[in-house]
């Protein structure tokens, strides 16, 4: 790994099932993440992905790439355009800094509306013995 290295993109279909499964697995029962009617009353066109699921997907993107020895040290994300059912999110990443076994990666998750998530992940990659 070296600065400037680009990670292969990961495309994730944003299904209703993923949104609801992610919300429940993160114990987030806010209605906007599972009840479309109540989501609309709150000004959203449909249910949308919760931030904990986005966080989990960003972490997965990084550890998928760096392999079994990858350990997440820091994940900082900002949400922009929501992930609605039927959309597709493509995660891309660029290594911005490497110090020993630790890399910093800039991550962007884009959907049809724009950037759903932008963030920075710090990951340590332990070499298998």
* 15 is a site residue for another protein (CB under 8 A): no
Residue selected from 7, 57, 103, 125 as contacting another protein according to rule CB under 8 A: 57
* 44 is a site residue for another protein (CB under 8 A): yes
Cα-trace Rg, the chain: 16
Q: What is the closest distance, in whole angstroms, from the C-beta atom of residue 124 to another protein in the complex?
A: 10
Beta-carbon count within 10 A of 104 CB: 17
Residue selected from 9, 15, 30, 101 as contacting another protein according to rule CB under 8 A: 30
Residue 51 has which token pair? 């931030």
Q: How far is CA 13 from CA 18, 50, 90, 118, in A?
A: 8, 15, 9, 18
Stretch that binds another protein, among 1-9, 62-70, 93-101 (CB under 8 A): 62-70
């Amino acid at each position: 790994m070296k600065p400037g290295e680009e990670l292969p993109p990961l495309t994730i279909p944003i299904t209703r099932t993923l949104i609801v499964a992610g919300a429940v697995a993160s114990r987030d029962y806010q209605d906007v993440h599972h009840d479309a009617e109540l989501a609309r009353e709150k000004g959203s066109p449909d249910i949308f992905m919760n931030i904990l699921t986005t966080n989990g997907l960003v972490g997965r993107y990084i550890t998928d790439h760096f392999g079994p020895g990858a350990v997440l040290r820091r994940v900082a994300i900002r949400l922009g355009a929501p992930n609605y059912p039927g959309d597709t999110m493509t995660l891309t990443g660029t290594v911005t800094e490497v110090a020993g076994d630790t890399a910093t990666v800039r991550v962007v998750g884009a959907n049809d509306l724009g950037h759903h998530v932008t963030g920075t992940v710090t990951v340590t990659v332990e070499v298998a013995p």
